[in-house]
A and B are shown apart, each in its own frame.
Chain A
């Protein structure tokens, strides 16, 4: 599991410096910060604004626009279940209900013990072998309820 660093300003400075030379580097920087921190801490916003000479509103606007950037840490296991049309045609909605019931949370939430985050995603590009889900970054196809619950439990244990 990833932990917030003790010295956030230094981390932000290091990451910004590594990408400062790029054109329009903010998304690249945010991706790396999230990779390192697990989420984009609210305290990161003013630091980035200062480093990049942007307004805090600009940075906040970008962070909140993109689904990828989390405002709080995800669970130890992240499940992204595809809800787009191709997966719906082979039962994705029923799969989502089943998983919500099995985990006791709704899409977009993390279980109270911090074990699993359930997210919805619109298309993983595995549309011929749906229903699909990405579990901790790995895509699984041809899922059914039992297999999905088994995979989520196995990853979370």
Chain B
């Protein structure tokens, strides 16, 4: 119910997303409340998620009859002036002209997206269940609960939804395997160990629309016959933990989680677990070990987690974005979802523009958009203003793509053909000052730091790899050492137990292939 005073109040949005907070959103929120009080203007301050236009953070929005108008980036020490100039009325004149953006929904960046996973992110109050329902939440779960579990699995299969964590395994097939595995106890695990550099979509969704993840997990639980779900969240994301934890509590009080959810007779509850700062725990079997309270040592596959997963039970392991896509698949049907995309890359991908980029943030659209469009058209090229030299897609284990080859369509198949991988959709941009031999060395260094140590190619190969690159740029028998590096990469690719060691050669080989000049001996290092 809206009372008269609330109706008269101006609604102001200041994101609580940790990226916005990292550049001062909390201070801006405090300043706006103070200035509004001083000017005698009653406001309702909503701490929303981010709209994903991170270069504009802190992005302040004012609700007006014509829609939400935006201002950004807003500095706390300018709020007094901006309020005096009419910020709270949605004005655009005078001092406001420097930061006024117009109606946020009409900005090209927002208008050109197809937001399914991000439909509510930045729009709603993340911890308001009423907001969630008002903006289409629970439609997918309600429809799923009215169907047979096998039909839910079939719907997900029909959608063509593939795992967004990086491997791209078809979700429907995984769910079917778990559903058909014998046993009364099964689990749904959400992999929220988003450790890849350049990726932050999971965090943004969990901080901006946590109920959608809970809904997706409940649908997965119903489809496969699991009554318990676990979210494994990395410890580097304390804000996501706080928001998601609060959402779980709220969902329980609403009957969205717990016994007999939405009166369906189906029981499902979710537990939030925090990781320990180990990148390897983003590998699914390592994550399961960690959830069991053990060292995050990778398991050999088979057996696959769908058959022998958490505590040895059949387990669905899906990434946050996979599970967040599920409510949309169920609400609108698998066919509608499959109508988007290219090849066997169906639906939408949340791309993350990161690194040395002028306009960084999250951009959700159907597969098929070119890298050039993302990096240059929407991203605005580098932040430094220098030419784009390389782009790393898919995290630290993804290949480097030269700036001259960005005319690549984003999709699992197109990337495969180009010797790259899409991974979790993170795109890290480097300008022409980057030293690609140093980046290749870093790939090994990172692998050495984060390897679980179970298999030798990864544990030892990573250390040796860094040493070999040092010798190459140091001018010690470059040809012999380059051949050795090639052998080492092949051994790690073929002989490692999991993707950590197996994919570390990706950045190394692509750097060598596209930027061989960076690996030539350096004068200052040869004269010793």
Interface residues, chain A, with chain B CB atoms under 8 Å away? 22-28, 30-31, 58, 61-62, 65-69, 84-90, 121-130, 132, 134, 137-142
Contacts and interface: CB of A to CB of B under 8 A. Distances in A.
B292 interface: yes
Contacts of A23: 291-292, 311
24 contacts: A23-B291, A24-B293, A24-B311, A27-B273, A27-B293, A31-B235, A66-B277, A85-B396, A85-B428, A85-B439, A86-B354, A88-B439, A89-B431, A90-B355, A125-B236, A126-B22, A127-B197, A127-B352, A128-B19, A128-B353, A128-B361, A138-B21, A139-B21, A140-B22
A109 to B, nearest CB: 16
Nearest to B281: A66
Nearest to B297: A65
Interface string B475-515: 00000000000000000000000000000000000000000
Contact of B426 (A22, A89, A127, A129): A127
B72 to A, nearest CB: 13
A24 B278 CA distance: 17
A88 B357 CA distance: 12
Given A25-B293, A129-B57, A85 B352 contact: no
Interface of B: 18-19, 21-23, 54-55, 57, 194-200, 203, 235-238, 271, 273-279, 290-296, 311, 352-357, 360-361, 383-384, 392, 396, 426, 428-431, 434, 439, 442, 446, 449-450, 452
Nearest to B232: A27
Contact of B278 (A67, A84, A130): A67
A108 to B, nearest CB: 11
A129 B54 contact: yes
B276 A123 contact: no
Given A27-B290, A69-B276, A125-B203, 18 more contacts: A26-B294, A62-B295, A68-B277, A84-B396, A85-B439, A85-B442, A89-B430, A90-B383, A121-B236, A122-B195, A122-B446, A127-B426, A128-B19, A129-B54, A130-B355, A132-B22, A138-B21, A141-B19
Contacts of A24: 291-294, 311
B313 to A, nearest CB: 10
Contacts of B442: 85, 88
Nearest to A120: B449
Contacts of B352: 127-128
B285 to A, nearest CB: 14
Contacts of A88: 439, 442
Nearest to B201: A125
Contacts of B274: 27-28, 31
B356 A27 contact: no
Contacts of B296: 65-66
B201 to A, nearest CB: 9
B346 to A, nearest CB: 26
A84 B18 CA distance: 18
B428 A89 contact: yes
A125 B396 contact: no
A127 B293 contact: no
Contacts of A87: 197
A123 B22 contact: no
A41 B449 CA distance: 23
A19 to B, nearest CB: 10
A16 B403 CA distance: 53
A134 B238 CA distance: 11
A67 B280 CA distance: 11
B21 to A, nearest CB: 7
A143 to B, nearest CB: 9
Nearest to B200: A125
Contact of B355 (A69, A86, A137): A86
A141 B22 CA distance: 5
Nearest to A84: B197
Given A65-B295, A66-B278, A128-B353, A123 B197 contact: yes
Given A24-B291, A26-B294, A65-B295, A128 B357 contact: yes
Contacts of B294: 24, 26, 58, 62
Nearest to A142: B23
A131 B342 CA distance: 35
B293 A123 contact: no
Contacts of B19: 125-126, 128-129, 141
Contact of A122 (B23, B392, B450): B450
A89 B434 contact: yes
A67 B197 contact: no
A86 B21 contact: no
Nearest to B57: A129
Contacts of A30: 276
A61 B278 CA distance: 14
A143 B203 CA distance: 21
B273 A28 contact: yes
Given A125-B237, A130-B355, A66 B200 contact: no
Nearest to B360: A128
A133 B40 CA distance: 38
Q: Which of B22, B236, B279, B429 has the most CB of A within 10 A?
A: B22
Given A26-B293, A123-B236, A85 B392 contact: yes
B23 A129 contact: yes
A128 B363 CA distance: 12
B388 to A, nearest CB: 10
A27 B355 contact: no
Contacts of B194: 125
B446 A128 contact: no
A31 to B, nearest CB: 6
Contacts of B290: 27
A89 B291 CA distance: 33
B55 A66 contact: no
Contacts of A67: 276-278
A121 B277 CA distance: 9
A130 B429 CA distance: 12
A65 B276 contact: yes
Given A122-B197, A123-B196, A125-B194, A89 B355 contact: yes
